[in-house]
A = this chain, B = another copy of it.
Amino acid sequence: MSRITLFTDSRVPCPQRLLLTIHELGLQINDIREVDISKFEHKRPEILELNPFGAVPFIRDETYDPPLMLTESRAIARYIAQAYGSSDVSAALLPDPTNVVAVAKFEEAASIELTSFDACANQLVFEELFKPSWFNGETDAEKCKLLREGLVRVVDLLDKRLTDQQFMAGGKLTVVDLFFVPYMHHLVSTVYPTLLDSRPHLSAWWERITSRESYKHLFGDSKKN
């Protein structure tokens, strides 16, 4: 049992990135506080006092004195993988820290996820899914056209990258694979169902991801949630 309190909105992609990591690690978090971002609860004074950035997820880990407060889904995922993950390097969700090349390729993959994939996928899913359904907003069609073009370039490159490696950072699953999952789920399930067609290596990676218990636990077994 960890001494972590998790502040989250389990329905949205950034917290889900962290939830996948928690599930992969088998980490027990009993104190989970749901913060409803559709009601702007993340902007309430008591939340802003804990996380001035006014975003979820964030954690408080009382293992330390003073407790460690940590924001940013990817940083939290890395932290819990290091602090609570397997000491067996092959099973860990992080690269072997003593292998400089493995760490470098991991950081390259982590940067690609953020600067290339998320830069398109995040905005496209927002425009076409969350903006109309959650915020009563109008999808910007011209913007979506450009985002789709950018996304196609990115997935072509990811498909190429996966030609001779099973996972985004190399031969084993790392947190970087999990960073891709929530937006990829929404793209493949609803926003852009043909995205993986004719991209065999990326499709095979997605099969590997969606057959994992962490994915099934979060999104169900249908891949169509």
Contact = CB atoms under 8 A, between A and B. Distances in A.
Interface stretch (A3-11, A98-106, A126-134, A182-190): A98-106
A72 interface: yes
A26 to B, nearest CB: 18
Contacts of A160: 52
Given A114-B115, A116-B53, A100 B82 contact: yes
A79 B52 contact: no
Interface stretch (A63-71, A198-206, A208-216): A63-71
Contacts of A104: 68, 70, 75-76, 78-79, 82-83
A36 to B, nearest CB: 21
B79 A100 contact: yes
Contacts of A71: 108, 112
A157 B103 CA distance: 30
A72 B103 contact: no
Interface residues of A, number: 32
Nearest to A98: B97
A107 interface: yes
A221 B112 CA distance: 34
Contacts of A68: 101, 104
A160 B53 CA distance: 10
Interface string A136-155: 00000000000000000000
A108 B64 contact: no
A182 to B, nearest CB: 14
A72 B110 CA distance: 9
A162 to B, nearest CB: 12
The 4 closest A-B pairs by CB, nearest first: A72-B111, A75-B107, A79-B104, A75-B108
